[in-house]
Amino acid sequence: MDGGGLVIEEDMEFYLLRVCTKLQLGSPRFERSVYYSQEGEPHYKFLVSLVCEEADISLKTSGCFSAAEGHARDDAAYTLLDMLLMKTGHSICDFNYRRVCVLQQQLEELQGSQGNQLARRLREKEAECARLNEEIEKFCKYLNLVVLSELSWVKYREGHATGCSRS
């Protein structure tokens, strides 16, 4: 068995027609344009529109150029289908939709467990930081005492040194 590649390729125009029928929007209208390359080969592009005043829908779009007329029509249908689904908030549930839902759930679970680990680690680091700040504060107090005692010792020596030289 050959690995990879498409097993089933859905016809987007068929999907578009099914969605329009299900939502009672009427049929989309396709307009074909043919352009010829410098070599004289035809390239196709479709403008597709869907107007349904009752549902307040007025959509127009075009697909990409293609040397294959079917691909150009399919691309225009896909583009309009995407616009229609976005506007109405509907989805098409197929194998890929279900697969994406499973992957999204796995991602959320992963992010949740990683989020818990990160929160625990953050609390540990905050506690460590507080402990280190306490140690720094104690060290500063110790240094302050040492400096004060050194200053006292220096003053004491200076006082005795000057006192000794006067006698």
Convert the pLDDT of each residue in 57-112 to its tens digit.
999 999 999 999 999 999 999 999 999 999 999 999 989 889 999 999 998 888 88
Residues 15 and 24: their CA atoms lie apart, in Å, by 14
Contact 69, 80 (CB under 8 A): no
Least reliable range by pLDDT among 97-111, 120-134, 152-166 = 152-166
Q: In CATH terms, is domain 12-92 a member of 3.30.160.20?
A: yes
Residues 119 and 67: their CA atoms lie apart, in Å, by 55
| pLDDT grade for 143, boundaries at 50, 70 and 90 | confident
The residue among 19, 12, 17 whose CA lies nearest residue 28 is 17
pLDDT at 125 over 80: yes
| Proportion of the chain above pLDDT 90, given as a percent | 54
| pLDDT number for residue 80 | 98
Cα angle value 107/111/117 (rounded, 5°): 150
* Highest averaged pLDDT of the listed ranges 31-35, 115-119, 120-124: 31-35
| pLDDT number for residue 165 | 47
69, amino acid identity:
E
| pLDDT number for residue 88 | 95
| pLDDT grade for 133, boundaries at 50, 70 and 90 | confident
Backbone region of residue 49 per phi and psi (left: phi > 0; alpha: psi in -120 to 50; beta: other values)? beta
